[in-house]
Structure 1
Amino acid sequence: MLTGKQKRYLRSEAHHLDPIFQVGKGGVNDHMLKSISEALEVRELLKVSILTNNTDDKHEVAEELAQGTGAELVQLIGKTVILYKESAENKRIVLPR
């Protein structure tokens, strides 16, 4: 579980990132979760955008992404989800205590 201080730090780190995945009309599926998990292992922190043609609730989509990938939901702002998962082999982000 991330503390408020850690979430603030991760939000500042994610500010300059562009979304690399998009959740469209098809919603969240296993292939997408696998791809996001692999990207999280390499990057640790990433953004996912929820397209306007997705009819699911954005909060449910964000939770589904976080639970499906085993990542922490850092923030849901508008239709952009920020996810963080500590990498086992490519650790680059050092969280404040």
Structure 2
Amino acid sequence: MLTGKQRRFLRSEAHHLKPIFQVGKGGVNENLVKQVADALEARELIKVSILQNCDMDREEVAELISQGSGAHVVQVIGNTIILYKQSVNNKKLELPS
């Protein structure tokens, strides 16, 4: 589980990032979750955008993606989800303790 200090650090790191995935009318499926997990392994910190035509609640989308990929939800703000998962091979971010 992430502490408040770690969440604040990750939010500041994610501020300049652009969303690399979009969740639309199709919602969350296995393929999306697998691609998010692969992206998290490569980058550790990503943003996911939720489109207006998505039928699911944004909190529900965040929960499904985080459970499927094993990631932490850093923040859900507006229609954007920030996800973090420590990489096994490509460790880039050093979280504050």
- After TM superposition, the score normalised by the length of structure 2 is 0.99
- Alignment match, 2:75: 75
**Shift in Å, 1:55:** 1.3
Q: Which 5+ residue runs of structure 1 have no aligned equivalent?
A: none
Per-residue displacement from partner, 1:14-69 (whole Å, max 9, x unpaired)?
A: 00000000000000000000001000000000000000000111110111111111
CA–CA distance in 2 between the matches of 1:24 and 1:62?
13
State which drifts further: 55-64 or 5-14. Answer: 55-64
**Residues 1-97 of structure 1: pairs in structure 2 closer than 5 A:** 1-97=1-97
CA–CA distance in 2 between the matches of 1:16 and 1:37?
21
CA–CA distance in 2 between the matches of 1:79 and 1:65?
14
Amino acid at match of 2:94: V
Identity %: 64
CA–CA distance in 1 between the matches of 2:13 and 2:28?
25
CA–CA distance in 1 between the matches of 2:35 and 2:58?
20
Amino acid at match of 1:80: T
CA–CA distance in 2 between the matches of 1:46 and 1:56?
20
CA–CA distance in 1 between the matches of 2:50 and 2:21?
9
Number of equivalences: 97
